[in-house]
Structure 1
């Protein structure tokens, strides 16, 4: 089985490799075709599906596509981190799952509304570089009890479980 993930982000690639250790995992830089900073569950899910669809449309047989997308969403006028994943088979079956949610500081609202991506906001907030490719917002705000890779691995486990159950 070949698995193509629609991202070159190392945390997302490692998450897929962790859940599919006996399969060939390759990455492909594909657009999400949603905002660079998705602002709802619906938009974040759509971005994950779009990435997975593009990867599953490869010419090779025995291939599934996986898309992982991070975003933000409102609950009671407060922003939360959200994340979605999609797995698409060669015959077009689509499986989706979502994972952890954690509240974001109120001060993040304005920059995010102005189009600044959460990864850039996190770099400034944490006074670090490349948070999105390392621990992620989830790692910062949980004191590294949960890393971005672990968060996405959980979503990929949900995807794999659905796919194996329904096939």
Structure 2
């Protein structure tokens, strides 16, 4: 059975409200982009400062996923009138002497349905790995090593390391779309 690429999810004509569990402009922008690519509806995307309930630099799949889930759940608790709540959490994982970076995305709708997806992973250079292992958050390590300010609200490590061929928004957007799969296919989820 084939499903259309884009689907109108609203029954009456109104604007849907999506709350992102962060004020980070990259997370808000990638959510906006993903929802507009996935659906033909009108959306208003707002960011909200909520806690992730995990360490500032989550380590491993479980802690990073939990941070994304907590951001979505906490957003819903603070602003229950919305239609969708989105949590995005970046994390790292040590593999031997190396370190990879990634993010988890969790989306919850009014009915309690949950969509989730993970970004692609990439390996960090040894100097940044050493800074993170020394206790820095990845964004701080990027700023120190590359002599930048607040890169995590901009292009992030992925943008810096790919020479802007993939910026942080374009890195997160496919994972947000993948997390929307259950909402794109309600007949089978």
What is the TM-score with the length of structure 1 in the denominator? 0.92
Question: Which structure 2 residues correspond to residues 116-135 of structure 1 after superposition, within 5 A?
Answer: 116-135=136-155
Correspondence for 1:17: 32
Aligned 8 A contact 1:56 1:63 in 2? no
Larger Rg: 2
Runs in 1 of length 4+ with deviation above 6 angstroms? Answer: none
Q: Which runs of 5+ in 2 are unaligned?
A: 1-15, 37-41
Q: In the alignment, which of 50, 55, 69 is matched to residue 35 of structure 1?
A: 55
The number of residue pairs the alignment matches comes to 166
Q: CA RMSD in A?
A: 1.5
Cα offset, 1:74, TM superposition: 2.3
Cα offset, 1:116, TM superposition: 1.2
Cα distance in structure 2, aligned partners of 1:45 and 1:98? 8
Cα distance in structure 1, aligned partners of 2:80 and 2:181? 25
Question: Which structure 2 residues correspond to residues 61-72 of structure 1 after superposition, within 5 A?
Answer: 63-72=83-92
Cα distance in structure 2, aligned partners of 1:50 and 1:64? 14
C-alpha distance after superposition, 1:46-73 (max 9, x if no partner): 100000111223331x511000011101
Aligned 8 A contact 1:56 1:89 in 2? no
Aligned 8 A contact 2:115 2:181 in 1? no
> Is the counterpart of residue 56 in structure 1 residue 76 in structure 2?
yes
Cα offset, 1:45, TM superposition: 0.8
Q: Which runs of 5+ in 1 are unaligned?
A: none
* SS at 1:91 equivalent: coil
Cα offset, 1:126, TM superposition: 1.2
Cα distance in structure 1, aligned partners of 2:97 and 2:110? 40
